[in-house]
C-alpha cells in the first residue's frame, strides 16, 4: 500500500486486487500446463483469461477519470462524538466510489446527475482544531480484478469542543450573574394580563407582585443575563481537561438560561460577554495543557 503522503496527486493509479492476482496466477498455471501438454484449446482459454485480465484495467482506470472530490468543513462537535464531513464527487462517474481519509471511509453509490454526495464520519477523542487528511478515491472494474486509486488534497477542517462534564455542579458563588434576564420587567407599561399559553419566561414578576395579579410582558424581553466564569472556579475538577469540561458544561447551562458568558482563562485576553459558540471556541482552542 502506498502511503498517502508519498502518492502522486491527481493521477490515477491502477493496482491489481487480491482476486486479480489469484486470477492471473491461475491463467499463468494454465499457460504452463498448455505448453507442457500442447493443448490447443487450452491456449485459447488461457489467452481469453489474459485478455480479460488486461481489458479490465481499462475499465478500472476509466472509473476515476475526470472525477473531482470536494470535502466541506464539518459542523463543530464535542470530543467523543464523530465529525461528519460532507463529501461531493463530480464528474462522469457512475460506478460506486469509496472516499477514504486515513482509516475512515464512505462509499458513494447514488449518482444524481453528475454528482454523488455523502458524509465522511471521523471519530474524535480530543478537543481542538481537526484537519481532514488527504482524500483517496477508490473504484474497481466490474469483475473486481483491478482497483484504481486517485489521491487528492483536502482543505476541510472542523472544531472539536471539550466534552461537557456530566452532572456538573452548580455555578460557583464567584460566577456573578448580571444584566436583566428574560422575564424581568423594565417597562411596566408594556405588560398585560396573563393568558393561558404564555411562556413563564415572559411573566413580569415585579409588576405582578405590585398589582396583585399575574401579568405578562407584551413587548420585547429584557437584556440577556451574563454569567462570569473564572478558571479558578474549576480548581476542584482536577486535571486541565477536566476543568475545561466543567467550564464547557457551565457554558451550555448558561445557554439554556439565555445568558451570555464572560469567560476568563489564563493567558487569554479578556473578551467580555460572548455568545455560546464563541465561548466554546475559546475552550476548544485553549493552549492550556496538563502539567
Q: In what order do the strands lie in the sheet with 225-230?
A: 177-178, 225-230, 259-264, 273-274
Q: What percent of the chain has pLDDT over 90?
A: 45
Hey, what's the cell of 131? 484537519
SS3 of 67-133? CEEEECCCCCEECCCCEEEEEEEECCCCCCEEEEECCEEEEECCEECCEEEEEEEECCCCCEEEECC
Q: Which residue has the cell 481499462?
A: 58
What pTM, to 2 d.p., does this model score? 0.74
Per-residue pLDDT reduced to its tens digit, 230-250:
898 888 888 999 999 999 999
177, 226 Cβ separation under 8 angstroms:
yes
Residue pointed to by grid coordinates 473486481: 144
Q: What is the pLDDT of residue 126?
A: 93
Q: Which of 278, 184, 253 is CA-nearest to residue 224?
A: 184
Q: What is the pLDDT of residues 134-191, one digit of tens each?
A: 999 999 999 999 999 999 888 899 999 999 999 888 887 666 555 544 444 444 446 6
The full set of domain ranges for the chain reads: 1-161, 162-179+224-291, 183-223
pLDDT digits (tens, 9 = 90+) for 50-85: 999 999 999 998 888 888 889 999 999 999 999 999
pLDDT one-digit tens code per residue, 80-113: 999 999 999 998 877 899 999 999 999 998 888 7
Per-residue confidence band for 291, with pLDDT thresholds at 50, 70 and 90: low
On whether the CB atoms of residues 22 and 41 are closer than 8 A, the answer is: no
> What is residue 205's predicted lDDT score, i.e. its pLDDT?
66
Q: Is the pLDDT of residue 44 over 50?
A: yes
What is the C-alpha to C-alpha distance for residues 96 and 108, in angstroms, rounded to an integer? 6
Q: Measured between alpha carbons, how far is 28 from 142 in angstroms, rounded to an integer?
A: 22
Amino acid at each position: 500500500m502506498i502511503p498517502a503522503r508519498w502518492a502522486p496527486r491527481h493521477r490515477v493509479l491502477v493496482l491489481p486486487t487480491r482476486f486479480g492476482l489469484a486470477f492471473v496466477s491461475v491463467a499463468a498455471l494454465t499457460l504452463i500446463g498448455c505448453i507442457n501438454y500442447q493443448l490447443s484449446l487450452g491456449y485459447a482459454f488461457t489467452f481469453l483469461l489474459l485478455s480479460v485480465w488486461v481489458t479490465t484495467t481499462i475499465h478500472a482506470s476509466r472509473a476515476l477519470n475526470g472525477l473531482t472530490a470536494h470535502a466541506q468543513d464539518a459542523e463543530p462537535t464535542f470530543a467523543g462524538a464523530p465529525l461528519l464531513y460532507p463529501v461531493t464527487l463530480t464528474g462522469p462517474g457512475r460506478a460506486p466510489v469509496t472516499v477514504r481519509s486515513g482509516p475512515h471511509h464512505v462509499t458513494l453509490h447514488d449518482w444524481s446527475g453528475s454528482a454523488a454526495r455523502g458524509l465522511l464520519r471521523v471519530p474524535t477523542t480530543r478537543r481542538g482544531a481537526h484537519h481532514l487528511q488527504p482524500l483517496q478515491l477508490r473504484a474497481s472494474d466490474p469483475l473486481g480484478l483491478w482497483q484504481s486509486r486517485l489521491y487528492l488534497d483536502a482543505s476541510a477542517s472542523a472544531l472539536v469542543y471539550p466534552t461537557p462534564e456530566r452532572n456538573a455542579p452548580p455555578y460557583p458563588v464567584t460566577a456573578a450573574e448580571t444584566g436583566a434576564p428574560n422575564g424581568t420587567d423594565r417597562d411596566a407599561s408594556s405588560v398585560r394580563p396573563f393568558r393561558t399559553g404564555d411562556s413563564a419566561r415572559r411573566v413580569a414578576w415585579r409588576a405582578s407582585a405590585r398589582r396583585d395579579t399575574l401579568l405578562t410582558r407584551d413587548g420585547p424581553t429584557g437584556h440577556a443575563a451574563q454569567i462570569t466564569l473564572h478558571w479558578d472556579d474549576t480548581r476542584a475538577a482536577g486535571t486541565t481537561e477536566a476543568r475545561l469540561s466543567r467550564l464547557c458544561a457551565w457554558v451550555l447551562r448558561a445557554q439554556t438560561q439565555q445568558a451570555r458568558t464572560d469567560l476568563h482563562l489564563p493567558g487569554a485576553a479578556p473578551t467580555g460577554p460572548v455568545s455560546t459558540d464563541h465561548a466554546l471556541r475559546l475552550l476548544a482552542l485553549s493552549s492550556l495543557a496538563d502539567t
